[in-house]
Amino acid sequence: MSLSPAPPRRPLLTRGSRPLTTTVPAINELGEIVPTQIAGELPLTLYVDKREIVTLMTLGAAPEALAIGWLRNQRLVSSLDDIESVQVDWNVGAVAVKTRKGLVNAEARLGSRTVTTGCGQGTVFGGLMDEIDAIHLPAQRRLSQTTLYALLDAVRLHESIYKLAGAVHGCALGAANSDEGCEILFFNEDVGRHNAVDAIAGQMWLDGLDGGDKVFYTTGRLTSEMVIKTAQMGIPFLVSRSGLTQMGWEIARKIGLTMIGRAQGKHYLLFTGEERFIR
């Protein structure tokens, strides 16, 4: 009798979520003072085993998941088991991660930095393209047009900081249900779309979720880094209300990811992976 693998050990976590908006006075076209909610933004410096790694500008909605997802998507940790604790202290603007056996190939990865198009925040350490060939998405998965429309409708109806204050990007993780609807499992907003996707990547690890039957939605552009991060989470479907870049398109074609852009209401453009899409 075969034994199931032991679930990953969940790290010790703080609960460091911050208020996502603040109210400031603004003057309207009539010269009236109008209390207005704006999106929060705070620097959060990531330390791993007492080593300063990077400073992220964030809303602070899910700082622990953000730190874990950032390390996951930068390929600096290989599993949740590698992380012993994640401690957030907003008094000093820091998140301290303690690992069980150090970062993966840290010197090589941290020594090579590629600045990407992520609203000034997108960075990939160590060989952006080095591990593309190792990514294998589940070939049998399919996305129906009905499920796509259900996803777009669910995102539209979701309460969001963007509706309240603007100035943020949002990402959602969706799962198709039996009647071809789509359930939003996670919805995260932040000042940059890369923070939002990293927070969802971290939460997927914390909750032990597989990406093979999921759909990822972002309000931002479909750049090379967004495509790679989606594929690293094992998600075969990537949807955006925005457009895409040439490198994002080329990588999506190479790895067989179904990429849909300009998706709003009943309109969309299917750019890659049409073999997975059912009209």
Model pTM score: 0.80
Asked whether the domain spanning 143-278 has the same topology as the one spanning 12-132, the reply is no
Report the CATH number of the 143-278 domain: 3.40.140.10
Distance of CA 206 to the CA centre of its chain: 14
Please return the burial class of 61, using the count of CB atoms within 10 Å of its CB with bins 0-12, 13-18 and 19+.
Answer: buried
pLDDT in tens, the chain (279 residues): 555 566 668 899 999 999 888 887 888 778 888 888 877 878 899 999 999 999 888 889 999 999 999 999 988 999 999 999 999 999 999 999 999 999 988 877 776 554 444 444 445 544 555 667 778 898 899 999 999 999 999 999 887 777 776 667 889 999 987 677 899 999 998 888 888 999 999 999 999 999 999 999 999 888 888 999 999 999 999 999 988 888 889 889 899 999 999 999 898 999 999 899 998
Cα(238)–Cα(227) distance, integer angstroms: 8
**How long is the chain?**
279
Residue ranges covered by each domain of the chain: 12-132, 143-278
**SS3 state at 19:** coil
Yes or no: is domain 12-132 CATH 3.10.20.10? Answer: yes
Cα(18)–Cα(202) distance, integer angstroms: 18
